Structure 1
Amino acid sequence: MMKHRADKQSGHRSVYESNRRKILKTQNTCSICGKSIDMTLKAPHPLSPVIDHIVPISKGGHPSDINNLQLAHWQCNRAKSDKLFVTQEKKQGKEVIGNRNLPQTIDWQNYNK
């Protein structure tokens, strides 16, 4: 029996797709390498846009929460795979698990489209 990804299953599918569309409409920079993304490119072109899970589902990341999704190049996402990086927050001195190189400043609660 084939195992299906959690973000492609019924409970998360519509939320994931909705959040995916929001990210594709509002972002244009790879969250992994920081370079701009040409939104006209299609997979499997190495520089095509894809949605990446910040904390991989296999490591306990939420499959459809917009706070666990980010825009990335196809090749950057493939290179990252299911790796996690732990950083130290300088202001608060706490450990943060994730892999964003760039600060994300969009307030998704106020996004209505």
Structure 2
Amino acid sequence: MNNIRPDRQGPHRTVFEKNKRVILKTQNTCGICGHPVDKSLKYPHPLSPVIDHVVPVSKGGHPSSIENLQLAHWQCNRQKSDKLYADRAASSTVVGNRNLPQSCDWTKYRA
């Protein structure tokens, strides 16, 4: 049984890598906590930059769509894991083109 995610191999990999480069060039803040991301930091630093899936692949999110990808800190992405917003229609402040988690009620997260 092959449990490797589509963004890790296969046809989505090329598109994911292209979109990852675009995001690293165009975004500067963590889509999860809203704080600036220092792109000079490298893994395993907890604040190193990573690409996060807004809707996790395991929850049906597209593995390589740029609309489903955002810049994040490594530690923020690890804490978010594969969670989704339970109530996406909640009123929130829009910063740029994304609703950031600090503008939502984190108690409404579901695993």
Provide TM-score, normalisation by structure 2: 0.79
- Counterpart of 1:46, as a letter, is P
Which residue of structure 2 aligns with residue 87 of structure 1? 88
Which residue of structure 1 aligns with residue 68 of structure 2? 68
Residue 103 (str. 1) matches residue 81 (str. 2): no
Mark the CA change 1:75 to 1:28 in structure 2 (over 3 Å): closer, same or farther. same
SS in 2 for 1:75: helix
5+ residue gaps, structure 2, are 99-111
| Structure 1 residue 105, shift from structure 2 partner | 3.6
Q: Which runs of 4+ in 1 moved over 3 A?
A: 101-106
Identity of aligned residues (%): 62
- Cα distance in 2, alignment partners of residues 105 and 58 from structure 1: 24
- Counterpart of 1:87, as a letter, is R
Which residue of structure 2 aligns with residue 35 of structure 1? 35
C-alpha offsets along residues 32-91 of structure 1, whole Å, 9 cap, x if unaligned? 00000110001121000000000000000000000000000000000000000122165x
Residue 9 (str. 1) matches residue 9 (str. 2): yes
Q: What's the C-alpha RMSD, in Å, of the aligned pairs?
A: 1.9
SS in 2 for 1:38: coil
- Cα distance in 2, alignment partners of residues 34 and 65 from structure 1: 21
Q: Is the 8 A contact 1:31 1:102 kept in 2?
A: no
| Structure 1 residue 2, shift from structure 2 partner | 5.1
